[in-house]
Chains A and B, each alone.
Chain A
Amino acid sequence: MKKSKLLLVSLTSIMAVLLLSGCENNMVVFNPQGPIARQILELINFSIALMLLVTIVVFGLFAFIVWKYRERKDNMSYEPPEEHGSTVLEIIWTVIPILIIVALTIPTVKTIYAIDEIPQGYEDKEPLVINVTSADWKWIFSYPEQGIETINYVNIPEDRPIDFRLTSAGTMQSFWIPALGGQKYSMAKAETQLYLVADNPGSYVGRNTNFNGQGYAGMEFEVLSQTQKEFDEWVKEVKETAPKMTLSEYEKMLEPSHFGRKTFSNTHLEWVDHSDPHSKNYTNPEMYDRGHGWPGKIFEDKDNYKNKDGNTVNTKHDNSEDMNHNESETDDSHGGEHSGH
């Protein structure tokens, strides 16, 4: 039985090593398609190597001690010595982890700062700005310079930094294209920012990783990296052939729903920028149907897009709501704090 224990331990460690080396070739995080993802992968590989070393040492020591000092028929009379510790040894195994942590901290902090910037070698290339708006349960990509908008897919030129400006029309979501780099949250009335670059033309999967309700599992989009020429042609074609989106169409789109790709030759930014703390709320609580259970109260929301300007809103609700509402409307500096991201 003790043998099988040892066997299990060694098997697990061997399995871990094998799986790590064996699967490396097809796991998306280990196949970076851009400089940011590559930088992160270097950090990951370094940490795996170091951690594997730690694991092997501890497993080895563990197996050795458990095996050597196991109770056997012939050592039943052995009485272990009184031993309270050793200051030297305890200092040693405090210092070793400290050294490991320092070794990990340096590249970690460097990478954290590095991936906040345009990656090295691309500084001279002008970044393409794409405004990403997440909604339940779709991704909206606006190209403000080109004046076009795509839903649930995004085309980007290769070898050029893309400056993704993330916000949300509703729930908190996380924008992730693992082949190109790490993820970042998109949040209503706030803007987050993410640089990504694709090395080559190709198609990659992007998705939401932050749970946001019934349609979450399907919140994927395609990232198509093209040559600059192909990209320009595509933009031109969209501008010529794609329909213009109307405000009511856009409002309809923000209702909780799931659909395929769409393309427009204008952007919703002309009506609303969801990262603006004073923008209207595009929420539709009455449309979230869980199919069973007791329905709760839904509260009146005066900043909702359905309340058109000039309409007097009926006041059937409590005062606290009024107070909150007035405060955020009159006190600009207070509202401004929310945008600082």
Chain B
Amino acid sequence: MGIKWDEFFVTGDPLIFASQIGIALTMIGALAALTYFKKWNYLWTEWLTTVDHKKIGIMYILMGVLMFVRGGIDGLMMKGQTAVPENEFLNAQHYNEVFTTHGVIMILFVAMPLLIGLMNFVIPLQIGARDVAFPQLNALSFWLTFSGAMLFNISFIIGGSPDAGWTSYFPLAGKEFSPGIGNNFYAVALQIAGAGTLMTGINFVVTVLKMRTKGMTLMKMPMFTWTSFITSIIIVASFPIFTVALALMTFDRTFGTHFFTISGGGMDMLWANLFWLWGHPEVYIVVLPAFGMLSDIISTFARKTLYGYKSMVISIVMISVLSMLVWVHHFFTMGNSAGVNSFFSITTMAIAIPTGVKVFNWLFTMRKGRIKFTTAMLWSLAFVPNFVIGGVTGVMLAMAAADYQYHNTLFLVAHFHYVLIPGVVFPIFAGLYFWWPKMFGYMLNERIGKWHFWLFVIGFNVTFMPMFFLGLDGAVRRAYTYSAETGFGPLMMISAVGSVILAAGFAALVYNIYWSARHADRNIGNDPWDARTLEWATATPVQHYNFASLPDVSKIDAFWHMKKNNEIQPLTEDEIEEIHLPSNTWIPIYMGVIFGISGFLLVFEWTIAAAIAALGIFAGLAFRSFDYDEGFHVHKDEILETERKWRKGANKGVKNHVS
């Protein structure tokens, strides 16, 4: 087929042209560097084919941070465009593409990978396991997510980005009003990434249920494990809905069916319902693990066990149930009957009850504690007041009658950023500072960390606080410009300035990662924070088999009690057995690549080529079926040597590196 290259590549915009050249040069540079430093083999055996949950977790986190940069630049461009009235930095079409990709990337390719990355790294350690239940499936999850993310990201230089908002409401997102292929990227890329997420959900449900170490009953699990478990259940319950909705969207756009179209008896309202049936639980999928991390971090730095453990567990279960019962609050204004709107108002407000319980439990965990202001703890503390603002405005939005005035305005935008940034991003940062030593064997610098913290928190408030007032004054979301007479100018400018401070805060994090990798102290012991849960009962960085002998648990905060009772001792030879671990495999990354290629062809509606490429998927499945690799054993000598090295220093000396 004759390809028109000027349509294949996005042309006509200097910014995009510069990105195209930049991306090409970076890729050539990276390939050249790998070849020059002879790192191909290392990359392939240590990372690309790994099934180790710790390395997969780190790859997720790396991807999340990179995508954060991309989504952040999108956000800055939006703020730049709306800083002054009638600005001409971006035209309507570009602005529409930018806010669409900003939303999708921030939720699905930043929040999700960062959280799933931390879950991957921490959960098996917290429950005293040597890996997740299905290590190879775990690798497949990552590579599908990565493949989807890459497919989605290239849209802005090849083919054109989706431009119907992250919600992609029909009929706008259909071919009748968006004939370009932009929204195909949305349908196909999210389908691939979503399949990966669904597998993660299944994997973690099984892992938590079946892989816990001896004595760790459900009610003795650390809170992060609990929330990740519930999150996985919500994933398993809600992602299939999105899978179906995206499939129908693909049929509508690629084959001309009429599920959501105006013509042929299609039903645009059906999309909104299906989307939010997944979309609202999705919010809790990202918020719940974050809550869990906060619980563990607050308890560590207050030096107290979590207050009201049982009510915490009941709360998260309640939240997960309610999360499936509130989706209509995203479209109170669709002309529902008063009865329907009343019902969903009440279920939505009811979420404030378990959430309130959690906030009070966190506060009372700190009461009578001894609060240490590490960077990780600062992020956890900042969560409380900022999230409360997000929460109370959420209750206001839940009141359907009032929502008629807030809906689709910047008030709503401010609200969900006040929920998602303090509720997800702050805890992720807290988690990164907290678990970084376990991942890499050194800590992130606390001093730069505080710069990161203050710039980010202040920048965040300056960016989003004005939006509440803009919204109440009638400023709507997703509008690329506004006239000077509206009077939105000054507050919009303040908000734009805030976003620059916010970006400076993020830059401080990136600098911190670089600085710490080069200069941070490597001799920090296995438990630098004096922490409470099992992941700290391992070496730093964690030995590849996690635990030489699986720990025996009798209480919540197992490691804390082990330390108190002086249970961590050098192992004797007869305590050690050979450890059986799974081997590396090329199949997951192969599947990621083949899904990416097939998806790309489908996006361009070259359906026959896509179908041929998809045969490769079946080839991968077949290879997997005939794969009889039984894994390998770690020898006793190696275990003894590794354990001797770190257990010497445990329990003394090198603990507190925080000043």
Contact = CB atoms under 8 A, between A and B. Distances in A.
B335 A190 contact: yes
Contacts of A216: 92, 478-480
B253 A296 contact: yes
A295 B307 CA distance: 58
Interface string A267-309: 0000000000100010101101011111111111111100000
B479 A28 contact: no
Interface stretch (A103-111, A142-150, A227-235): A103-111
Given A80-B304, A182-B401, A328 B264 contact: yes
Interface in A11-44: 12-13, 15-16, 19, 23, 26-30, 37, 39-40, 43-44
Contacts of A65: 363, 366-367
B357 interface: yes
Chain B interface size range: 35 or more
B29 interface: no
Interface string B339-377: 001100110011011001101110110111111110000
B368 A81 contact: yes
B215 interface: no
Contact of A294 (B8, B335, B356, B404): B8
A337 to B, nearest CB: 9
Contacts of B182: 290, 293
B371 A66 contact: yes
Contact of A104 (B171, B384, B395, B482): B395
A321 interface: yes
A290 B94 CA distance: 9
A183 B401 contact: no
B267 interface: yes
A291 B371 contact: no
Contact of A59 (B92, B388, B399): B388
B333 A327 contact: no
Interface residues of A, number: 128
B366 A27 contact: no
B38 interface: no
B353 A170 contact: no
Nearest to B341: A112
Given A71-B373, A178-B405, A185 B335 contact: yes
B296 to A, nearest CB: 16
A116 interface: yes
Nearest to B178: A288
Contact of B395 (A29, A47, A75, A277): A47
A35 B637 CA distance: 82
B385 interface: yes
A324 interface: yes
A318 B91 CA distance: 37
Contacts of B371: 66, 69-71
A243 interface: no
Interface of A: 1-2, 5, 8-9, 12-13, 15-16, 19, 23, 26-30, 37, 39-40, 43-44, 47-48, 51, 54-55, 58-59, 61-62, 65-66, 69-71, 75-76, 78-86, 89-90, 93-94, 96-98, 100-101, 104-105, 108-109, 111-116, 136, 170-172, 174, 176, 178, 181-185, 187-190, 192-193, 205, 207-217, 277, 281, 283, 285-286, 288, 290-304, 317-318, 320-321, 324-325, 327-328, 334-335, 338, 341
15 contacts: A2-B373, A28-B473, A29-B473, A83-B305, A85-B307, A86-B308, A104-B399, A211-B164, A212-B172, A281-B176, A286-B179, A288-B180, A292-B7, A297-B254, A318-B256
Interface of B: 7-8, 10-13, 91-93, 96, 159-161, 163-165, 169-172, 175-182, 184, 253-258, 262-265, 267-269, 302-305, 307-311, 331, 333-335, 338, 341-342, 345-346, 349-350, 352-353, 356-357, 359-361, 363-364, 366-373, 378, 381, 384-385, 388-389, 392-393, 395-396, 399-405, 407-409, 450, 457-458, 461, 465, 469, 472-474, 476-482, 487, 604-605
